[in-house]
Amino acid sequence: MLLTIETTHQPATDLGYLLHKHPARVQSFSLSFGRAHVMYPRADEQRCRIAVVLDVDPVGLVRKHRGPAVDRYRLDQYVNDRPYVASSFMSVALNELFATAMNGRSKERQALVDRPIPLRTVLAVVPCRGGEGLLRRLFEPLGYDVSAKQHALDERFPEWGAGPYFTVALQQTVTIQSLLQHLYVLIPVLDNDKHYWVGRDEVEKLLARGTAPGPDGTPWLAQHPEKDLIARRYLRHRSRLTRDALARLAVEDDPDPDATDRLDDRAEAEIERSLSLNQQRVGSVLSVLKACGAATVLDLGCGSGGLLRELVAEKQFTRIVGVDVSVRSLQHAARRLRYDRLSEMQRRRVELLHGSLTYRDDRLAGFDAAAVVEVVEHLDPSRLSAFERCIFEFARPGTVVVTTPNREYNVMWETLPAGALRHRDHRFEWTREEFRVWAERVANEHGYGVRFLPVGPVDDDVGAPTQMAVFETNVRSGALTSE
Ligand code: SAH
């Protein structure tokens, strides 16, 4: 049973630091089911490949078997595919050999661990019950390029057809922690072998290995579209354990607020979590957009698509366009919207555009309303006037909803150091007065009226955590009052 992981990150031999295994040595480890050997078939500056070879001892396994006594006399205990295929044993081995990396830590090179690097993994033989389709459904939502070759059941008898075994290659620029967690959980899921005992601690292991940030920045397992199947198979179809695991995953399944930087997003999410402020913000923006009667809407700086998903669910909106300067965010949004599975009609209704809000863009003209949620504070102050013109002069939607943090509220968060902003990428955060002065000037210059609404719990002294301004063109609000 063989697994290789290769990188072209430079210097490629960094892989040795990431995995705490020296590239010049062949090392062997004793495990409960046999032995694991770790070596590097290639290790130079350009390319470094580590190989994990497992030597499973099937007879030893039977002797240690913990299941019911009758099972001990079954022939398939002795004659089976376990020594040859990547299965739960590979997971156990990865966990024991690379525990530090799987926990996202490094003794010497923490910055390296936190960085996505190009990684290509090959599983020489993996049983894939559910076929290539399932393989793709498990790995593609996590961002992998998947290639798979199915093997014949027996090469001497092609008429027997294909067997359940595949050679699988997975490629992605990803952190080593994420890769190891994905392999740890998903290899046994592919195998779906029900033969061995699963106890309660398997639920803990599953949850502990589902924590690395996924493509949209939140823990990967909670966001995985196949999380039900993953939990069921990982926990060997023990329904009570599966229910328990899924219930606990659901608690973590909060939409993320920003997606510019995964780690910072997590920090900001942590700060705001107690309020579930993100949900309140999305809710408030949505109700303003609905109330103004808009049919066509823009989500400017849509990030990973939390608001877009809510807009899509509302029939009132006949055309929904998300815009972002970050291609990665747009990819996350497309995934979150399951864009590739939308019908032709839905695709015409929802569109994602790559663009910047500081340049005139004619594609943004002619919409009823626009949301600009937690975006202004990401702009360089010197680009703010370009942003104002782009939206209020050129795109000129009837209604514009702008939200931004209220800096005064930051003192309310115990975890935020005094004077700090909520997110590393925030260029500034406004007080209520600063926001009001800015918004009123913009409204005056461009012929809009503006009103302000708090989002989140309002404190007597410092106000609400998020502030919202609703701009309406005078013409449009005139039309509304005359209806
Ligand atoms: N509206 C989303 C994301 C907020 S994070 C939400 O509430 O969850 C800020 C977003 O603005 C990021 O996705 C970032 O890529 C985008 N952004 C920053 N500057 C931008 C610009 N000049 N043009 C377009 N998008 C921009």
Kindly report the protein residue whose alpha carbon is nearest to atom 23 of ligand 1: 356
Residues 326-349: pLDDT tens digits? 888 999 999 989 888 888 888 889
| CATH number for the domain that contains residue 91 | 3.30.1610.20
Number of domains in the chain: 2
User: Is 443 among the domain residues?
Assistant: yes
Residue 390 lies in a domain: yes
Domain annotation covers residue 400: yes
Is 236 a member of any domain?
no
Select from 170, 198, 226 the last residue of a domain.
Answer: 198
Pocket of ligand 1 (CB under 6 A): 257-260, 301-303, 306, 324-326, 329, 356-358, 373-375, 378-379
Regarding whether 412 and 339 lie in a shared domain, the answer is yes
Q: Are residues 148 and 293 located together in one domain of the fold?
A: no
Contact of 119 with 27, CB cutoff 8 Å: no
Whether 480 maps to a domain, the answer reads: no
Give domain status of residue 342, yes or no: yes
- Reported as a single tens digit per residue, the pLDDT across 407-441 is 998 887 766 767 777 777 888 999 999 999 999 99
Q: Are residues 15 and 134 in the same domain?
A: yes
pLDDT of residue 153: 63
218 domain residue, yes or no: no
Q: What is the 3-state secondary structure (H, E, C) of the chain?
A: CEEEEEECCCCCCHHHHHHCCCCCCCEEEEECCEEEEEEEEEECCCCEEEEEEEEECHHHHHHHCCCCHHHHHCHHHCCCCCCCCCCHHHHHHHHHHCHHHHCCCCCCCHHHHCCCEEEEEEEEEEECCCHHHHHHHHHHHHCCEEEEEEEECCCCCHHHCEEEEEEEEEEEEECHHHHHHHHHHHHHHHHCCCCCCCCCHHHHHHHHCCCCECCCCCEHHHHCCCHHHHHHHHCCCCHHHHHHHHHHHHHHCCCCCCCCCHHHHHHHHHHHHCCCHHHHHHHHHHHHHHHCCCCEEEEECCCCCHHHHHHHCCCCCCEEEEEECCHHHHHHHHHHCCHHHCCHHHHHHEEEEECCCCCCCHHHCCCCEEEEECCHHHCCHHHHHHHHHHHHHHHCCCEEEEEEEEHHHHHHCCCCCCCCCCCCCCCCCECHHHHHHHHHHHHHHHCEEEEEEEECCCECCCECCEEEEEEEEHHHHHHHHHC
Range of the domain at 127: 2-198
Residue 52's identity, in one-letter code, is V
Domain termination residue (choose one: 180, 198, 216):
198
The answer on 263 and 189 residing in a single domain is no
The confidence score (pLDDT) of residue 112 equals 85
Which of 336, 378, 429, 466 for mutating ligand 1's site (highest number of atoms within 8 Å of CB)? 378
Closest residue by Cα to atom 9, ligand 1, is 375
Residue at 50 is within a domain: yes
Shared-domain flag, residues 153 and 287: no
CA-proximal residue: ligand 1, atom 13 (nearest): 303
What is the structure's pLDDT at 470? Answer: 97
Same structural domain for residues 189 and 262?
A: no
37 and 168, same structural domain?
Answer: yes
Testing ligand 1's pocket by substitution, the residue of 260, 276, 375, 384 carrying the most ligand atoms inside 8 A of its CB is 375
Ligand 1 pocket test, pick from 216, 261, 325 with the greatest ligand atom count within 8 Å of Cβ, gives 325
User: Are both 268 and 387 inside the same structural domain?
Assistant: yes
How many CB atoms are located within 10 Å of the residue 62 CB? 14
Q: Which pLDDT belongs to residue 433?
A: 96
> Cα 191 to the chain's mean position, in Å?
24
Do residues 187 and 264 share a domain? Answer: no
If asked whether residues 30 and 123 sit together in one domain, one would say: yes
- CATH number for position 425: 3.40.50.150
The low-confidence residues of the chain, meaning pLDDT below 50, are 67-70, 252-267, 271, 274-275, 476-483
Confidence (pLDDT) at 83: 54
Of 153, 172, 198, the residue at which a domain comes to its end is 198
Kindly state whether residues 453 and 354 are assigned to the same domain: yes
124 and 269 together in one domain: no
